A and B are shown apart, each in its own frame.
Chain A
Amino acid sequence: MTKSEYAAARIEEISGTNPYRCMKCGKCSASCPTFSEMDIKPHQFVSYVLHDDVEALAASKSLWKCLGCFACVERCPRDVKPGRIIDAARQLVLRQRGNSYLSADEISKMEADLPPQLLVSAFRRW
């Protein structure tokens, strides 16, 4: 297993989703409130994981633009849950930084325009 395959497998594991179920309908992107802010769009998250390109996903702006509102998770007709994928990618990044969750001290070191909802969701999970 290559490093990127491994990362993709981890994403699937953490998110608990099966990206192969996606039928590319785009309802996630249609639902996303921060769509315009994102460089990689929610419906594309899935194909990045499918094509083992987690690195690009981890480096994307989208990672920190997703509010974690889970509208896409709720509405996805195929139960693929792109919101969870991006959440998992964020989690991978956080873990690489040595943490399994966001600690309050780190907030000052982050980009100033992070949406507060994201911060809440980063505290909340795992």
Chain B
Amino acid sequence: MQELKNRIAQLLADGSVQRILGWKKGEMDYDAEPAFFETQASLDDFVYHGFCAANLSKYMIEAAKLPGKTLVCLKPCDSYSFNQLLKEHRVDREKTYIIGVGCSGKLDIDKIRAAGIKGISGISEMENDTLRIETLEGEKSCRRKDVLLERCHVCKGKDHVIFDEQIGSSQDTTDGDRFAAVREIEAMAPEARFAYFQEELGKCIRCNACRNVCPVCNCRKCVFDSTKFDSVQKVNADSFEERMFHIIRAFHVAGRCTDCGECSRVCPQKIPLHLFNRKLIQDINTLYGTYQAGSGLEGKTPLTEYHPEDAEP
């Protein structure tokens, strides 16, 4: 992290960039948050560690409107999102300086808590892939790989698909099958599937966190906030979230979703929203050929493309 910090301080100091988009120390060690840094002094709060899970690419849409260049720190998976945004003309490459930061998987505080570690006052990452956790009950530890975010187990890889320079090393964390959960649900009876999603989506409080965090859910005006579909009528439907919002959201990001996993990470109700996206990605891969959104800038997305011999619905 020190190397990264030195480098961004230098780029800010010599005027190469006007501001840094990175992560800022939170109240606790595990709640780092995205932030813009414009002064050297503010960089004191800059951090990069296992809890810097937030995908910063979406903030670059706003950064593109600010004067001057913005330096953004992108993890390998974030770089796919940035690429996708670039493809959709939503960010300005000219006004962006990308440091591809290394990643050894991001950590899930809920998994740590679920492991019975409570009253956490501090967490530090150790060399030997363990975490040292200070708690009210004294010092505890756990293995990194046991508390990784779900998405890190099915990581797309640790290569940045777009960057100006790279800093920091990465460690492969892939040890799971990305579509295993999707297949599990597919194997269930329709009634059971319906019950499962009814239960999960029933928790939705329509806080819009998923929509706000999703890099490709970047419409200036969401259809669910516009008058164009007469769909701004949450009140007169009894379970609008289950029946409309999440289906349409998944559909709108189909072929564009890079599977960054932010939707599920930020959901306060812990709804496994990424399952919808994964399901669609799996379908696209099997029906239209393997496609990874954000891997390149050329070509059309699967839903704006066709083949005369495509499968029938």
Direct contact of A and B (CB under 8 A): no
Please list the residues of chain A having a beta carbon within 8 angstroms of any beta carbon in chain B.
Answer: none
